Structure 1
């Protein structure tokens, strides 16, 4: 009995190499209004994952360097023990994997860490591997905070363990300085903003012009001040709006027969000493 050897096929030396297919990365979910637009020098692009301990974001800095940002939730950031577990998990990562992080002494802010480096997704398997590695490291940090990967010791009895802050799943507090506006605007947004400001300025100028045209010939509503003369009397001239027939125009002065009233101001110099309101009145002494 003779054994037959299966023929082996060899590729020609000039045949091109077939590269391994690149991994398909899931797209990040859009940011919600409650998410921070930026942490540190990294602009957030979308959500990659979340649990009760924190969120994973896809991010990039001003130079286009990609990263995966892990950030604590509002509930876990208020727990001192959870913050310590986050810091210890970040310290356990390789030094070249941590691109940036905030200070652990910021008690009023949520802790975050930027993991990478992550290259721009160009369809290659190496770029996909970098992002997957960064995501896995971020998941390990958040799992250390949540303590969901601790092996079970003994038999399971009683109720399940649950952190008291697991219901507070909003992103933790953050501080942005300098403010992201208008750096975060795209060129199309900048053009729309400039056009809207110009339209507002044009509408305001048109409103001021219409108001000036309507009220430029309006008469004075309040009469002028009445200044008494040294004799203690004030003469007020009342000019009728419609002059009687046979009289001149009001612009040439008061016509003959215009009623003139003399008003005596009490308490002015030259009035009777016994009139009320004068300095000699005994009632003014108290």
Structure 2
């Protein structure tokens, strides 16, 4: 081997091949709890998170990329945390703030879109712009969390903890207009259209089968009562026994009829008058 030749690396036959380095994605996927859209920016993935808020990779309808910093539901309910968020946004350079919501929306979480970010073309300038936007978003959330304030004095006692740090879900948001169907890609739109057509065909087949099964069915006995437009129904009741005939004369007595020669045949059936004249009535009543 001459001096100009370089030694060749010899690898054992049983040595395993090194796996290629795993590519780290630019952003983590969105979770179901994340908003699909904030203002005019569609969110594509998560860039970071802490107790104060989230960083999202986003872009608007025109293709302008941005980094969106949004508060959590816990920090958004704290008036002091909202003030720190607004102050941190005001401290950013004017060209760095692309959009933000109104601080008077007490029922919504505050958010800010930070940019500008050049379209990713593989150049170092585009990567630097995105990195700068991410750092600015982290500074805004750190101002809310107050984790970068230098500590004065000695560390004593328990660590400081915000009362809302346990509520780390994304804050409340409002989407208008609705994200459907502008957020769908062409493939998603075709899949949605085909699924709706399939659902309509299945429903039509179900109706056809029901009609074929019950078209020759016998009517129900008794027939169902159909209510009238006044929500009343008429039911005809057929009596099982005829009603008794009405009588106009006096009701006959039910006692046994006297027979001739019986002791009770001579008893008068009328009572003496109690309001009669002096010559009538019972002799014992005279005085």
Structure 2 length-normalised TM: 0.69
Which residue in 1 is equivalent to 2:284? none
Evaluate the alpha carbon distance shift between residue 77 and residue 224 of structure 1 in structure 2; reply closer, same or farther with a 3 A threshold: closer
Q: Which secondary structure does the structure 1 equivalent of 2:199 belong to?
A: helix
Which residue does 2:124 correspond to in 1?
Answer: 125
SS in 2 for 1:81: helix
After TM superposition, the structure 1 = structure 2 runs for residues 106-185 of structure 1, keeping only pairs within 5 Å, are 106-185=105-184
2:70 corresponds to which residue? Answer: 71
1:215 equivalenced with 2:214 (yes/no): yes
**Structure 1 pair 274–179 and aligned structure 2 pair: CA distance change class (3 A):** farther
CA distance, structure 2, for counterparts of residue 185 and residue 178 of structure 1: 14
Q: Deviations over 1:214-239 (max 9, x none)?
A: 111222114569xxxxxxxxxxxxxx
- What is the aligned partner in structure 2 of residue 83 from structure 1? 82
Distance 1:26 1:201 in 2: 40
CA deviation map 1:244-277 (0-9, x unaligned): xxxxxxxxxxxxxxxxxxx55999xxx87859xx
Task: String of CA shifts for 1:91-145, please: whole Å, max 9, x gaps.
Answer: 1111111000011011111100000011221100111111011111101101110
Look up the SS of the partner of 1:129 in the other structure: helix
- Find the aligned partners of 1:149 and 1:33 in 2 and give their Cα distance: 31
Cα separation, 2, equivalents of 1:150 and 1:36: 30
Please tell me whether the aligned partners of residues 73 and 110 of structure 1 are also in contact (alpha carbons under 8 angstroms).
Answer: yes
Local SS of the residue matching 1:71: strand
2:78 is aligned with 1:104:
no
- 1:48 corresponds in structure 2 to 47
SS in 2 for 1:69: strand
For residues 111 and 75 of structure 1, the distance between their equivalents in structure 2, rounded to whole angstroms, comes to: 12
Residues 104 and 265 of structure 1, relative CA distance in 2, 3 Å threshold: farther
Question: Max radius of gyration: which structure?
Answer: 2
Q: How does 1:258-273 map to 2 (within 5 A)?
A: none
CA contact (8 A) 1:56 1:138 kept: yes
Deviation string 1:24-60 (CA, Å, 9 cap, x unpaired) is 9961111111111110010000111111111100000
Q: How many residues align?
A: 214
Identify unmatched segments of 5+ residues in structure 2: 1-22, 225-237, 248-287
User: CA separation in 2, counterparts of 1:273 and 1:201?
Assistant: 66
Does the residue aligned with 2:47 lie in a helix, a strand or coil?
strand
Contact 1:25 1:128 survives alignment (8 Å): no
Closer, same or farther in 2 for the Cα pair 1:86/1:224, shift >3 Å? closer
Give me the CA root mean square deviation.
Answer: 2.6
Stretches of structure 1 that go unaligned for 5 or more consecutive residues are 1-23, 226-262, 276-286
* Partner SS, residue 195 of structure 1: helix
CA distance in 1: counterparts of 2:239 and 2:75, whole angstroms: 81
Q: State the distance in 2 between where 1:48 and 1:63 align.
A: 21
The TM-score normalised by the length of structure 1 is 0.69
